[in-house]
Structure 1
Amino acid sequence: MARKIVETLYCDACAKKGLEVVGTEKLTIMGREWDMCLEHAERFMNQLAGALDPTEVALSA
């Protein structure tokens, strides 16, 4: 009999709040990985872009 193992990844940021939201995005920085829901991924992307290039936030807003 064949078996299929399905692993569900949850958003690390939501998990800190006790929520189980599926992590559909993955963030990798210098070998560290975080799973994030789309909302947290977009929020972090905007914060990171603003820290690296403030004009980037103005363009995406």
Structure 2
Amino acid sequence: MARKVVETVTCDACSKKGLEVEGTVVLKIMDDRYDLCDEHGARFRDQLRAALAPSLDAALTA
């Protein structure tokens, strides 16, 4: 009899709140990996973009 293993990935940020929301976005920083839902993925993307924007602008003009 054949068996099929299905792995469910949940959002790490939602899991801290006790929620089980499907993780659809992967955030990887060096050796750290975070599975995030669309909402948390967008939130972290926006925060990183804002934090790095001045550095990126300065590097592009150099």
Corresponding residue SS for 1:18: coil
Corresponding residue SS for 2:27: strand
**How many residues get paired?**
55
TM-score by length of 2: 0.83
Q: Say whether residues 1:9 and 2:9 are aligned partners.
A: yes
TM-score by length of 1: 0.84
Structure 2 runs not aligned, ≥5 long: 55-62
Counting only pairs closer than 5 Å after superposition, residues 1-61 of structure 1 correspond to structure 2 as 1-53=1-53
Structure 1 runs not aligned, ≥5 long: 55-61
